[in-house]
């Protein structure tokens, strides 16, 4: 069965410092990978997906099939980046995970200190 | 558009009871998925409904069942509640055929005593 691992429950960095949230997955096929974010008192929302290769709010993530990783990176952290971040995997196709059930990691709580 | 709406927001039940949670999808969305999020965990996929049928199911027992109505709204039913069913239940809607991404509701917090 597929699995998503986020090794850090909590990550605290200073404003302006680089950020890297780690995500590793286990699946023998070619999954779709996503990062979801939940800001304080807001709903879970899609941040970015690997197939679009886009940068959202300064965040990027590259799928490394050799290392089965999909780490989320941002060169200069901002205080508004403080949130809960979830890495997720979909087995079939795009649509932001709406075409089938997502497998989520346990999440990393990112705190940006001023 | 109110987005995905769920009711109730909070619910307290006792062991052995049955519960029904409700979800209205975002306008234009025809697919509804349900997730269970225990404290300190990521969401776990329960099942997905499309065209009033269960299209996909996660690793949850038969005590968890659902329904989708012609207006695309959905219900999640849990029978014979256990203490371990205490969690935040999230509904998410999408329209995969239209390339619409997944939108989540705010969830229903279920406490089983």
A3-113 adopts what CATH topology?
Immunoglobulin-like (2.60.40)
Q: Does B106 touch chain A (CB under 8 A)?
A: yes
β-pairing verdict for A83-90 and A32-38: antiparallel
**DSSP-derived secondary structure for B7-35:** E-SEEEE-TT--EEEEEEPPTT--EEEEE
C-alpha gyration radius of chain A: 13
Q: Of A35-44, A63-72, B92-101, which gets the smallest average pLDDT?
A: B92-101
Mutation target vs A (from B35, B43, B49, B54; most A CBs, 10 A cutoff): B43
Please give the pLDDT value at position A27: 85
Most A CBs within 10 Å, among B42, B49, B109, to test the A interface: B42
CA distance B27 to chain A (A): 15
- Read off the CATH number of the domain in which B27 is found: 2.60.40.10
pLDDT of residue A92: 67
Across chain B, which distance is largest between two alpha carbons, in Å?
42
Residue B19, domain extent: 5-112
- Region A30-59: mean pLDDT is 89
Domain ranges of chain A: 3-113
The structural domain count of chain B equals 1
| Chain B CB within 8 Å of residue A93 CB | yes
């Amino acid at each position: 069965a597929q699995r998503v691992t986020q090794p850090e429950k909590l990550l605290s960095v200073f404003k302006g410092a680089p950020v890297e949230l780690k995500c590793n997955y286990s699946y023998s096929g070619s999954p779709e990978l996503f990062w979801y974010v939940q800001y304080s008192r807001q709903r879970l929302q899609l941040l970015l997906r690997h197939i679009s290769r886009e940068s959202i709010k300064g965040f990027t993530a590259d799928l490394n099939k050799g290392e089965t990783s999909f780490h989320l990176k941002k060169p200069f952290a901002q205080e508004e980046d403080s949130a809960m971040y979830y890495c997720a995997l979909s087995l079939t196709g795009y649509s932001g995970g709406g075409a089938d059930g997502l497998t989520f990691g346990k999440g990393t709580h990112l705190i940006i200190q001023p | 558009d109110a987005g995905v709406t769920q009711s109730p927001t909070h619910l307290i039940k006792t062991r052995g009871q049955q519960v029904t949670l409700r979800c209205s999808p975002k306008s234009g969305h025809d697919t509804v998925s349900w997730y269970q999020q225990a404290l300190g965990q990521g969401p776990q996929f329960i099942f997905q409904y499309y065209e009033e049928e269960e299209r996909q199911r996660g690793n949850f027992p038969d005590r968890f069942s659902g329904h989708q109505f012609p207006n695309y709204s959905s219900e999640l039913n849990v029978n014979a509640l256990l203490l371990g069913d205490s969690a935040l239940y999230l509904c998410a809607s999408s329209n995969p055929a239209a390339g619409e991404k997944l939108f989540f509701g705010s969830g229903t917090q279920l406490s089983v005593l």
